Structure 1
Amino acid sequence: MQIQELTNLIPAELSDNSRVWVYQSSRAFIEKEANEVNEQLFQFYSQWQAHGAPVKGWAKLLFGQFVVIIADESDVTVSGCSTDSSVRVIKSLERQYDVNFFDRMMLTFLRKGKADMLPMSQVQYAIDKGFIDGSTLLFNNLVETKRELLDKWLIPVANSWLADRVNLNMAN
């Protein structure tokens, strides 16, 4: 999947200011699981409500391991209860597929068109050995809006929050 495909996947009618939540799985899903996950996500967002009003939303498994949930709050604000309902879906997927969506110490890089995961503790080693450099794309799961998802979800390590935490000059 390329970023252009991402632009084509996300409904254009959702506002650029729509809220985004990115949940990174501890492993990639096989095709059968991915289809099941996408069906469950569709069931969730097609019935998503905030205080009885339908939420204009969207959710999908991307790159085989990221659940992305989007809520357009132009008409209906997503409240604590409706946010909790989305987290319940994620927790259910964790139990069903024996994965972890809340490990913030695991980072994912796009290398050779594939999502590669690394524990934060091994990133400097990967840089030192030349597996990762400043131009390697990082999945920046801290994005908060649809516009940020499209523009800043996949960014070079050198332009990311990670650049301040590693020494990119060590790369051979």
Structure 2
Amino acid sequence: MLVDFASLKPHSRVWIYHSKRKFTPDEKEIIYESLSSFTNDWSAHGVPLVSSFDIKLDSFIILAVDEEAHGASGCSIDGSTRAMKALEERLGLPLFDRAQASFVRGNELFTFPVSKLREAASTGEWNSETLCVNTLVATKGELESGFVIPAGATWLKRYLPAAPITG
């Protein structure tokens, strides 16, 4: 059962899907059409899920379920994966690429392949204070408070140059 994203409670579970570039207005229309239909009919064991979706930073699709009302089951999660794969195919954009890290500078989003993070940090392209998108948030509450945070407060800190030891 599709509800307004803002009405979902902070404990609602979220899944994040990422595009390496911003969605066009036509792509956003396709996303809204596809996910409105999917979330309106999404259920677990025949029970409608209180669910919604949102687009953040014009590049991230957030799918959410209020599991207090009824939990998402393995089969219903598989259904959401199929829906997102179908959307990915329709858009011709990879949405499941977890080998990218996204950063925010002003109104711009930029990404680096994980394999290039150490090099990009050593050349000053990002540092511990550079805002990054934390795709590891698990709930709507975490999304609201920790979706865009300094890279040094995330798993990305392991790619930063070691601080010199003074003494």
TM-score, scaled to structure 1: 0.85
CA RMSD in angstroms comes to: 1.8
- What is the CA distance between 1:161 and its match in structure 2? 1.0
Is the 1:136–1:157 contact (alpha carbons within 8 Å) kept by the matching residues of 2?
yes
Q: 2:128 aligns with which of 134, 155, 162?
A: 134
Residue 96 (structure 2) aligns with: 102
Matches of 2:162 and 2:60 in 1, distance apart? 26
Q: Does 1:24 align with 2:13?
A: no
Matches of 2:162 and 2:94 in 1, distance apart? 29
Secondary structure at the counterpart of residue 59 of structure 1: strand
- What is the CA distance between 1:168 and its match in structure 2? 6.3
Residue 147 (structure 1) aligns with: 141
- Give 5+ residue unaligned stretches, structure 1: 1-8
Residue 53 (structure 2) aligns with: 59
- What is the CA distance between 1:50 and its match in structure 2? 1.2
- What is the CA distance between 1:77 and its match in structure 2? 1.0
Amino acid at match of 1:147: G
- What is the CA distance between 1:79 and its match in structure 2? 0.5
Matches of 1:34 and 1:162 in 2, distance apart? 29
Amino acid at match of 1:140: N
Is the 1:41–1:60 contact (alpha carbons within 8 Å) kept by the matching residues of 2?
no
Residue 159 (structure 2) aligns with: 165
Counterparts of 1:35-46 in structure 2, within 5 Å, are: 35-46=29-40
Q: Residues 42-74 of structure 1, C-alpha deviation per residue, up to 9 Å, x if partnerless?
A: 111122111111111111222222110010011
Matches of 2:39 and 2:162 in 1, distance apart? 40
TM-score, scaled to structure 2: 0.88
- Give 5+ residue unaligned stretches, structure 2: none
Mark the structure with the bigger radius of gyration: 2
Identical pairs, percent: 33
Residue 81 (structure 1) aligns with: 75
Distance 1:36-1:163 versus aligned 2 partners, 3 A rule: same
Matches of 1:88 and 1:130 in 2, distance apart? 39
Amino acid at match of 1:32: D
